[in-house]
């Protein structure tokens, strides 16, 4: 069974988008209710920085992957079972 | 008018105190974050250095591990940020006119209580345990004449000073505005 690498990519991108949405909701609440002070700004910048570094490292570590290729998870070992003859 | 310190601050209202829970109550989230950050390197040392598993450098396992690790760190820091926002939006504000309690529970649940400063009847500060004693934080209980019988400032720094300031603010407000029974219902 061939497993395309692009599935991983799709799941990852979808998850990152979900994380961004959740981050945005938290950030919105911090600003809307008027407590976006120095501490709020510091923590927000810190977390955004960590996000950027994490995604950057991920891109660097996976930059040579050919996302259009597949990997065979199960070869044809089941074809030669005795009861199938 | 100066920039409002809290939402719905009145134009002629002077803020005397703006309090949050002591940072130590949030320290568990910081410890949790540190532990979460150390788990993957710990597992790497355990499996690849000590046990001696080969480190994948290509293929499905490599891609899966890298993406999983990335999502793990994003998730850990997101949980930390959410905990910070939850902590940061819980505020008690003492002004020369009222006491405001803003309590955020999750992202979409927010309770705001207000008490006219003239309705304060009794203020008690409380410090329990060695941690609270050493770091000087605790609870302040405000007995009121309003619908909500008791306001509680939880785990605030310097509770004795806070209690004293509240009583002082109440005294000044009484001097300016007269007896609280004269207030309209």
What does the pLDDT look like over B22-37, one tens digit per residue? 988 888 889 999 999 9
ipTM computed for the complex = 0.81
Residues on chain A touching B59 (C-beta within 8 angstroms): 71
Please indicate whether, in this complex, the C-beta atoms of A12 and B71 are within 8 angstroms of each other. Answer: yes
Structural domain that includes position A23: 2-67
Cα nearest neighbour of B58 on chain A: A65
Question: Does A60 fall in a domain?
Answer: yes
| Ordered structural domains, chain B, with CATH | 15-21+91-178 (2.30.29.30), 27-86 (no CATH)
Residues on chain A touching B4 (C-beta within 8 angstroms): 34
Question: Does A85 fall in a domain?
Answer: no
pLDDT(B43) > 70:
yes
* pLDDT > 70 in chain B, percent: 92
HEC sequence for A38-78: HHHHHHHHHHHHHHHHHHHHHHHHCCCCCCCCEEECCCHHH
Q: Which residues does A66 contact at the CB level (< 8 Å), separation at least 6?
A: A5
Please indicate whether, in this complex, the C-beta atoms of A5 and B63 are within 8 angstroms of each other. Answer: yes
DSSP class of B8: T
Please indicate whether, in this complex, the C-beta atoms of A30 and B89 are within 8 angstroms of each other. Answer: yes
Question: Does A44 fall in a domain?
Answer: yes
pTM of the model: 0.81
């Amino acid at each position: 069974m061939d497993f395309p690498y692009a599935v991983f990519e799709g799941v990852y991108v979808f998850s990152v988008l979900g994380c961004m949405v959740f981050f945005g909701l938290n950030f919105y609440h911090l600003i809307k209710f008027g407590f976006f002070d120095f501490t709020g700004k510091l923590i927000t910048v810190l977390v955004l920085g960590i996000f950027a570094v994490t995604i950057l490292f991920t891109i660097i570590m996976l930059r040579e992957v050919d996302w259009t290729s597949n990997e065979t998870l199960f070869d044809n070992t089941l074809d030669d079972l005795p009861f199938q003859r | 008018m100066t920039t409002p310190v809290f939402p719905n601050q009145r134009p002629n209202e002077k803020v005397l105190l703006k309090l949050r829970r002591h940072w130590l109550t949030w320290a568990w989230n910081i410890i949790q974050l540190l532990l979460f950050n150390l788990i993957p390197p710990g597992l790497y040392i355990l499996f690849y250095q000590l046990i001696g598993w080969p480190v994948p450098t290509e293929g499905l396992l490599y891609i899966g591990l890298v993406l999983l690790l990335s999502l793990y760190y994003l998730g850990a820091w997101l949980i930390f940020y959410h905990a910070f926002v939850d902590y940061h939006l819980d505020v008690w504000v003492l002004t020369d006119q009222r006491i405001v309690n803003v309590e955020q529970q999750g992202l979409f649940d927010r309770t705001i209580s207000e008490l006219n400063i003239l309705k304060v009847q009794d203020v008690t500060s409380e410090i329990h345990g060695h941690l609270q004693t050493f770091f000087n934080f605790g609870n302040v209980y405000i007995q009121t004449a309003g619908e909500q019988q008791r306001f509680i400032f939880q785990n605030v720094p310097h509770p004795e000073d806070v209690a004293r300031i509240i009583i002082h603010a109440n005294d000044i407000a009484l001097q300016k505005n007269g007896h609280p029974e004269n207030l309209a219902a």
